[in-house]
Structure 1
Amino acid sequence: MERRSTPILGDEAGVAAVEFALVLPILCLVLLGILDGWSYVTSSLSMRAGVKTAANLVMSGSAIDAVTQAVAISSWENRPEDGQVTLSRTYMCGTTVV
């Protein structure tokens, strides 16, 4: 006569579900971190594109700061409502500020 016993600690039913329940919160935090980081990167790239457009305008000889600032703001895609562009010029002759 063969006796089969299934001890409580030897039963492996549901182990995968428990492991998944332990790992799922970590995976969710990683996913949210990636999404937040991606949002920051795309916002930064969008802002830099607007600033680069304004810098190219200045390098091509634009002397009207209000126009250059307006171009920078209009080139900034998905600009937040409180997003601002400040333009300042420094003229130098060699290492001397003029």
Structure 2
Amino acid sequence: MTDTSTTSTSTRPDRTAWGAVGVMALTSFVLVLAEFLPPGLLTPMATTLGITEGQAGQAVSATAFVGSSSPRRSARCSRGSTAAPC
């Protein structure tokens, strides 16, 4: 007679995966907020900083460029635990 009982294992990776989903959702929210908020404030920003609205718009575009390139870089840098330095 053989024992065919199975042992229950914990599904710890599922908990970790949902944590990662939550972090990505929060990060996406912050990046979108950071991109949409400044265009509504370009005129007051330009007035306060003493620059033209075009220059203030370029500053917003620079932050959008960094925001769009960061996910690719972080994905490339975080592949595996022995990833080469970025």
Q: TM-score w.r.t. structure 1 length? A: 0.40
**Bigger strand share:** 1
Name the structure where helix makes up a greater proportion of residues: 2
TM-score by length of 2: 0.45
Structure with greater contact order relative to length (CA < 8 Å, sep ≥ 6): 1
